[in-house]
């Protein structure tokens, strides 16, 4: 991989990337690496971050093209910020709509992906994958528009889980974290009426639906469903022509597929207690339950309850039917909630919760 262009320019209070003007409270000197399918912009202190990103971006664009059976028509521009505080100093949040952001500190406008670095390269890679996936889906389905520039009416007909879930499915392999969250949603019955769920929860619903399509019908079915939906300007036609089932049938089959799978896993680990013991209290709309994990002896179930930032780690004693809170922290805040923390697991050595 060779650099087809390198440049540098100075900025005071504002920088223009394409048609989008980004404002700052300080002065920066921006540099960029230019390639055939993407550009990477960075500023003072971000050279190593940019070099690391360029190699990863190159391989991920190729991988994403294969997954979607689609080649990029328009170059992607990645604008890297050394940390979140630098990103917050800009007006990015004002020129992007929250509903089109893919989560975390990544913002997308047209073919431009704005990413902040938190010191974790694994998180950086995940953000890059999400950015590539989102831009490619936008180009494939809408002709490239996103954020405040979306004008295509087809977007309005998509279920809320559709695009967010697809981005998550493409950017992140099925793993224990996602599986635990989906397991909790299915087994609690909360996913039966997922239209009432929060945007964050529907993100995982969507991921699980695309994963189900992949597992049940093959990876190629995913790109075929997208193509048919685009051609017919109708979401349901994609499922009907490719999978042979209506949207309603798809959701029913998806739910039963996971329910049977999780019930089998559960029965294989321990004898099911009386239904009254496991009966979940009525969930308030802003409470999210996740990370459900069973101790090796099958007696305890630990889980996390997050109420817009106020977190409790609780343990259910399946024999006595008692719930105990073993850890609590945070405050209720009216801002985007981080549901990725804390991670909990049972130690295989002494059966303690860590």
| pLDDT tens per residue across span 319-347 | 777 888 888 888 777 666 666 667 777 77
For 166-175, what is the mean pLDDT? 93
38 pLDDT tier (thresholds 50, 70, 90): very high
Mean pLDDT of the chain, nearest integer = 78
7 pLDDT tier (thresholds 50, 70, 90): low
pLDDT at 126: 92
Angle CA 256–266–172, to nearest 5: 65
Q: Which CATH fold would you assign to the domain 1-149?
A: Glutaredoxin (3.40.30)
**Is residue 308 scored above 60 in pLDDT?**
yes
Q: What percentage of the chain exceeds 70 in pLDDT?
A: 75
pLDDT at 89: 75
For 173-201, what is the mean pLDDT? 87
For 185-208, what is the mean pLDDT? 88
Residue scoring higher pLDDT (130 or 8) = 130
How many whole angstroms separate alpha carbon 311 and alpha carbon 261?
29
pLDDT at 86: 81
**Is residue 224 scored above 90 in pLDDT?**
yes
* Domain residue extents for the chain: 1-149, 158-269, 274-354
**Is residue 286 scored above 60 in pLDDT?**
yes
269 pLDDT tier (thresholds 50, 70, 90): very low
Structure-block tokens of residue 52: 């690391």
Q: What percentage of the chain exceeds 90 in pLDDT?
A: 35
pLDDT at 307: 82
């Amino acid at each position: 991989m060779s650099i087809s262009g390198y440049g540098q320019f100075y900025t005071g209070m504002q920088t223009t990337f394409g048609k989008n003007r980004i404002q700052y409270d300080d002065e920066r000197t921006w540099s960029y690496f230019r390639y055939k399918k993407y550009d990477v912009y960075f500023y003072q202190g971000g050279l190593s971050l940019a070099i690391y990103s360029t190699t990863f971006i190159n391989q991920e664009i190729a991988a994403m093209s294969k997954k979607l059976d689609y080649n990029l028509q328009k170059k992607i521009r990645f604008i890297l910020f050394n940390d979140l505080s630098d990103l917050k100093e800009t007006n990015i949040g004002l020129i992007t709509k929250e509903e089109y952001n893919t989560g975390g500190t990544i913002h997308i406008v047209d073919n431009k992906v704005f990413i902040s670095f938190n010191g974790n390269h694994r998180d950086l890679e995940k953000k890059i994958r999400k950015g590539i996936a989102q831009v490619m889906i936008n180009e494939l389905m809408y002709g490239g528009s996103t954020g405040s520039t979306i004008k295509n009416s087809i977007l309005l007909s998509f279920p809320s889980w559709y695009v967010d879930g697809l981005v998550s499915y493409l950017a992140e392999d099925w793993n224990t974290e996602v599986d635990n969250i989906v397991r909790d949603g299915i087994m609690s019955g909360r996913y039966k009426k997922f239209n009432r769920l929060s945007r964050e929860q529907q993100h995982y619903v969507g991921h699980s639906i695309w994963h189900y399509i992949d597992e049940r019908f093959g990876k190629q079915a995913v790109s075929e469903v997208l193509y048919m939906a685009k051609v017919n300007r109708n979401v349901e036609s994609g499922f009907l022509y490719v999978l042979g089932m209506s949207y309603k049938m798809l959701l029913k089959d998806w739910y039963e597929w996971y329910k049977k799978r999780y019930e089998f896993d559960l029965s294989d680990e321990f004898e099911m207690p009386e239904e009254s013991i496991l009966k979940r209290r009525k969930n308030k709309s802003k409470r999210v339950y996740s990370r459900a994990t069973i101790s090796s002896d099958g007696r305890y179930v630990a889980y996390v309850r997050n109420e817009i930032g106020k977190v409790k780690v609780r343990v259910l004693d399946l024999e006595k039917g008692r719930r105990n809170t073993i850890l609590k922290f945070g405050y209720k805040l009216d801002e985007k909630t981080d549901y990725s923390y804390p991670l909990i697991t049972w130690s295989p050595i002494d059966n303690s919760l860590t």
